[in-house]
Amino acid sequence: MGPHPSPWHDPLSPVPFLFHTAATRPTKTAVVYGQERRTYAEFLDRASRLAAVLRALGIEKGDRVAALLWNTPEMLEAHFAVPMLEAILVAINTRLLPEEILYILEHSGCKALIVDTELAEPLARIEDRLPKDLKTITVTDRTLSPVHPVPLKKSEGDYEAALACSDGGGIGFSLEDENHTLAINYTSGTTGRPKGVMYTHRGAALNAFGTPIYSGINRDSVYLWTVPMFHCNGWVFPYSVTLVGGTHVCLRKFRPELVFDLVEKEGVTDLCGAPTVMLGICQYAAESGRRFPHCVRANTAGAPPSPTLLENCRKVGIEVKHLYGLTETYGPHTTCRMEPEWETLPLHEQALLLARQGVANANALHLRVVDSDMNDVPRDGETLGDVCMRGNNVMKGYFNNPEATEEAFRGGWFHSGDLGVMHPDGYIELRDRKKDIIISGGENISTIEVEKTVVRHPAVLECAVIAIPDDKWGEVPKAFVTLKPGATATVEEIVTHCRSHIAHFKCPKQVEFGELPKTATGKVQKFVLREREWAGREKRVN
């Protein structure tokens, strides 16, 4: 690690966490994947070799490197190797369609792409449209049988072969500016085009320092990767687990039965996931009769969990901490965990309290619910206001989008776009969303993007999309469609049309034909549609 001129100041970054743990606990198991076991010394060596490979490809400070990978060891290695060079990691959602991936590659100006061969298959269809200077390294998962062949005609080679020929011994790490961009994470917005959220080295480091405080992870933790690492850089857990010297257990794709197997086999102590992940675990437990052999700590975020879900998690053997945040806040900004005075309450009352979004984390601190004049609303649990944050866990801004950045930071605070209340005990609770973003299984879906896609169908006159409740995903899109006079279309035709243009998880799960409710000025009254669809539910969150 390179020296710095000041004896009393070292720029903050999560990259040194790997150097430190590899030096102090070199033989500790760092990464588990199938039958593979790697120590922290081996973890550092592989990350350094990858950094050397990228440097040989011409990657320099400030260059963007994309990773289109599952939750495999290579994704963990990329989280350290890319910023070792002061390059910028762009972790891409594995559920996106080729056109959406292409937009991110072009908008971010990526110079290299590390891609799993399975995920490269759809990209092969548009290979001639990929950026001409894009260097591609393909990851072949040899735990699969049969393995996926490399579908891309132009590739710089196989990941493992490149590492085998690389020498990472000359790779160190020296950072001049802790506010240098570490990663860009693309999130959906109401414009329909994803925005690139910029994380800094300082922000990622401070969030990683704060994670053990609210989550309880420590050097004995065995952390199971059930939350996608492309989502807010895995809520910064690649860095926090490495910081405390815990063990990463990689899981290529979430399957409830594998979660139970790994909890038993590897002694998993911690995991994270959206409520749909917790629901999948609970449903499998109910069907199979299995329970965790020991208590597992779980952090859930992405959409407010229902009290019923929290109760069911307790029965399975999961101690749930409810987190709340956005991509723009490095993931979790608040936490809601069991307080001692709640433990004597009935389970249902405990669940109602735990379903609130909570209080700011130690690394966040600044959290308000304000009115239109930026005054704090009363702490009465009833008065609605805008949820705003500021501090070390707020993004640097949107990449190449100063207008959106200025709007998000108006008044010196980050405006989440969520409406909530402040309770007398200082806990916030979401009540609605100012924007029409749908959170389905922890993934953001822009209603405007879906509406624009539906309206592209030749038979459609206009469309409104809202979130409707779903027992598995929390909420899913429903399209209300008015057809052109004399035109006809079926539900299946509308859904098929959407599936050919946007990722399948964004497509409407239901379609209803008819006139849209409107104001006298012609504005669609989405609240009318929402009230009807959410009538009788425990909670309306979007």
- Taking the CA atoms of residue 125, residue 128, residue 132 and residue 137 in that order, the dihedral angle to the nearest 10 degrees is 30
**Contact (CB, 8 A) for 1 and 19:** yes
pLDDT score for 3: 53
What pLDDT does residue 168 have? 84
Cis geometry, peptide bond prior to residue 146 (ω within 30 degrees of 0): yes
What is the reported pLDDT for 103?
95
| pLDDT of amino acid 433 | 64
Residue ranges covered by each domain of the chain: 15-201, 254-433, 438-533
How far apart are the C-alpha atoms of 246 and 268, rounded to whole Å?
A: 11
Host H or E run for residue 210: helix 201-215
The domains spanning 15-201 and 254-433 adopt the same CATH topology = yes
**Beta strands of 274-410 (E only): which ranges?**
296-300, 318-326, 331-336, 359-360, 366-370, 385-390, 397-398
Output the CATH code of domain 438-533. 3.30.300.30
pLDDT of residue 164: 96
Phi, psi for 4 (deg, rounded to 5): -120, 150
Residue pLDDT tens, the chain, 542 long: 455 568 888 999 999 999 999 999 999 999 999 999 999 999 999 999 999 999 999 999 999 999 999 999 999 999 999 999 999 999 999 988 899 999 999 999 999 999 999 999 999 999 999 999 999 999 999 999 899 999 998 889 999 999 999 998 888 899 999 999 999 999 864 345 889 999 999 999 999 999 999 999 999 999 999 999 999 999 999 999 999 999 999 999 999 999 999 999 999 999 999 888 888 899 899 889 999 999 999 999 876 676 678 888 989 999 999 899 999 999 999 999 888 999 899 887 887 888 889 999 988 889 999 999 999 999 999 888 899 999 999 999 999 999 999 999 999 999 998 888 899 999 998 875 666 678 888 887 877 778 888 988 989 888 899 999 998 898 999 999 999 889 999 999 999 999 999 999 999 999 999 998 875 445 678 888 988 898 877 544 43
Predicted TM-score (pTM) of the model is 0.85
pLDDT given at position 112: 98
3-state class percentages of the chain: helix first, strand second, coil last, to nearest 5: 35, 25, 40
* pLDDT at residue number 216: 94
Query: Which top CATH class is 15-201?
Result: alpha beta
Strand partners, 90: 66
User: Helix 73-84 crosses helix 15-24 at what angle (to 10 degrees)?
Assistant: 110
Homologous superfamily in CATH for domain 254-433: ANL, N-terminal domain (3.40.50.12780)
